[in-house]
Structure 1
């Protein structure tokens, strides 16, 4: 059994991560700081150390020096992404952004342990897992779940393209598991022992995207007090996953095209180019081909990226997978919350199968987690799932469109033909130039996170700047 040490000062995160790894059959110890970890444990006795970047006293990267023979996985918030890249330069084996997805964390841990396993551990693993373990090494289903024909086709394509150096474009709606597909491509490739750097292009401010991707020299712009390594350079030798690549601004698209064509980058403010060896994996929920027609996306970059396309089907098209996923999520949540005897009622299972799942797998996981928290008698009912019915995806408060200046009343027939998603899209596009994201969310009666997710699903770009 692999031994893992968690170093995290926040008790809630430390406890949740400890339960997650314990239920995955790892021997887990924990500490609240580097000093506590050093005083309580023999650090080189662990197979993996998972540490927060920012800790009381010494930073989590200090563990890289204190345990030179043990791989260190750094956890960081997205705001500390640059520090995470610096930690990888110092010797961290990988980083993961908080809040992390449970499947993503388990996949990362499994990948690191597999990459760093000694021959003796590999032999022991084969002997203990038998035939299933022998075939799991090349199976994407270790990372993603899918029994339906559509997902089996995805797995087949991943197995074929992973060993190559081909650039891959993953297409799928928000919440379908595009990042998990990218991890499968990386872990089944010859680059598996090198880093996989994941970047959400939509989450980085436009003014910082070039600096984050390509790095910058000292003094390149106001606030550049020291030189920084970019994410592409940090992925040298490994893979770079660019999620929501359709959100890249035009300048960054041109620079990325050069990376794909010449395998070269130039830091912001530098006159010297650097050669990089990076396998590019991109993902989007938008129609990039249509965006090239409106000049929102470079046509030459589109053709460079679209060498091999993998489409992740939405959950509503994955017949037979909904209940399988629900039961996996329920088992995990039940273990985490100490409710081992909880189950789905027949009515709840029918409700799950009949729902359209606009938020896909992520929405399903959230529904199961919510129902598990609320369930008191061991049986989850449709009421506890609290699934939105068709047509109520967007809540619009009364009087939302009231303006100081009266406007002509809309034509009734036109109003009847306007769906709530159309209404949401119309309202956002009409008001985003004069309202902040917070104000838009408040007017719509939803959270900022829900506003962002619906933008992604409907393909509504954020206003520039």
Structure 2
């Protein structure tokens, strides 16, 4: 049975969390501060430490080094993401915002314990601390050499797969929504392969007119069609000895798919208008945001080509599922854009950080980069506001107060006594009912560290009626 240490100075949350974890077959110990945890327990002996960020005395991040490599999950009620990002950089395995749902906490705990067991089993000769440092170093290598940013668990898993797949000549299919960085993964696979000194030829299949796609990919002979005044090598031939990256391969016409299949099966091409074939040595990496398996079933994509491509499949997560990576990527883009205009004083205002965290980014990394470039160009002061990002987020839902305000301790009211049986949902309900008579909805949401929309949704789910209008001015 995994043994978890909770370090939290708020009795209500600590007790509720302990009961939640014990009901789900975890052994739990608790402490109210880092000092108490040190005095009472051997911290490296736990399988997981769940700690509040802001504690009396030393902050929760002190437990990262005290845990000697055991995973630390940081809890924070602050609206600002900067402290959570800093925690991750210091070695925290993840963070979670308070108040959180039961399922959200249980999923995080299960995932962290599973990932830590897998890492320990795969590399038993290394200590947990060494393993964490090696993973960070591998991620940093990819970041520095290729430009992939992110340290969430799904991206660390992606880096591991890239390192395993890159040295081979296997075909790779990269799947993911538009703007997730599929070409960066293709470039990483090429740069870490034995073909790194040979060319990487990138082709966007959706950007070439259907009438020209075969000529562009496979070349043509003189007189092959009207306007072909001279023979020309195609992009597949240009990639000989290196890597051919076909982006949006789902847009490739069926005739071109048949020719591409021949390249993969026979290792040879035939230019348009030629009767002679020639050998090519090309590794193919393809990418798509479409479901090729479904397209194959409906006859829109060759099934035999799909299985040729699907030797190794890498799936990139959308930005909205990458947790704290979004802020890390945003800061990297801000630094890059600042250098372009020779400024070193630009930073995100608090509402901009909130907007970046809350917005779902349907256009993924590409949309984030464009929003930050726009904001940097339009910014007239050092602080970039949420409004300058030009994204569709309700500004009233953003927390505009200091992240280190009394929001950290919404239960400080003496009328709310800790109750051992209080669940996390009870905690939310008690707080709202107690304070809604003298707080606006915006203030309630701010104290709880959530948006007004989230507050409304929780009211609906828990059946908590909103106070009568007119009690307090919004």
Question: How does the TM-score come out when normalised to structure 2?
Answer: 0.53
**Aligned partner (choices 356, 359, 364) of residue 363 of structure 2:** 359
The answer as to whether partners of 1:140 and 1:184 remain within 8 angstroms in 2 is no
Larger-Rg structure: 2
| 2:182 equivalent to 1:174 | no
Asked if the contact 2:138/2:159 (under 8 Å) is kept, the reply is no
Partner of 1:147: 151
Could you tell me which residue of structure 2 aligns to residue 408 of structure 1?
Answer: none
1:327 aligns with 2:296: no
**Aligned partner of 1:304 among 295, 304, 308:** 308
RMSD: 2.0
In the alignment, structure 1 residue 346 sits paired with structure 2 residue 346:
no
SS of alignment partner, residue 387 of structure 1? coil
Find the aligned partners of 1:137 and 1:319 in 2 and give their Cα distance. Answer: 18
Alignment of 1:380-399 (within 5 A): 380-389=384-393
CA change 1:140–1:279 in 2 (3 A) is: farther
Contact 1:326 1:365 in 2 (8 A): yes
> Closer, same or farther in 2 for the Cα pair 1:165/1:195, shift >3 Å?
same
Aligned length: 260
CA distance in 1, matches of 2:239, 2:322: 33
Mapping for residues 73-112 of structure 1, pairs under 5 Å? none
Deviation by residue 1:160-179 (Cα, 9 ceiling, x = unmatched): 00000100000011111000
Q: 1:220 to 1:172 in 2, by over 3 A?
A: same
**8 A contact 2:139–2:156 mirrored in 1:** no
- SS of 1:292's equivalent in the other structure is helix
Q: SS where residue 241 of structure 1 aligns?
A: strand
- The offset of 1:142, in angstroms, is 2.8
Larger RCO, structure (CA 8 Å, separation 6 or more): 2
Residue in structure 1 matched with residue 272 of structure 2 by the alignment: 268
- SS for the counterpart of 2:284 is strand
- Tell me what 1:238 maps to: 242
Paired position in structure 2 for 1:196: 200
Hey, which bits of structure 1, 4+ residues long, moved more than 6 A?
Answer: 134-138
Say if 1:188 and 1:359 are closer, same or farther in 2 by CA, change over 3 A: same
- Choose from 353, 369, 372 the match for 1:368: 372
Q: Which whole-Å CA distance do the structure 1 matches of 2:239 and 2:181 have between them?
A: 21
Q: How big is the shift at 1:339?
A: 2.5
Residue of structure 1 equivalent to 2:340: 336
Residue in 1 that maps onto 2:397: none
Q: 1:245/1:368 Cα in 2 relative to 1: closer, same or farther (>3 Å)?
A: same
Displacement of 1:139: 3.7
Q: Is the aligned partner of 1:254 residue 2:258?
A: yes
Q: How far did residue 135 of structure 1 move?
A: 6.7
Check the 8 A contact 1:139/1:159 in 2, yes or no.
no
Unaligned runs of 5+ in 2: 1-133, 395-474
Structure 1: segments with no counterpart, 5+ residues: 1-130, 391-465
Contact 1:140 1:159 in 2 (8 A): no
Specify the SS of the correspondent of 1:350.
helix
CA spacing shift, 1:200–1:365, aligned 2, 3 Å: same
CA contact (8 A) 1:339 1:378 kept: no
Q: TM-score, normalised by structure 1?
A: 0.54
Displacement of 1:136 in angstroms is 8.5
Deviation string 1:43-88 (CA, Å, 9 cap, x unpaired) is xxxxxxxxxxxxxxxxxxxxxxxxxxxxxxxxxxxxxxxxxxxxxx
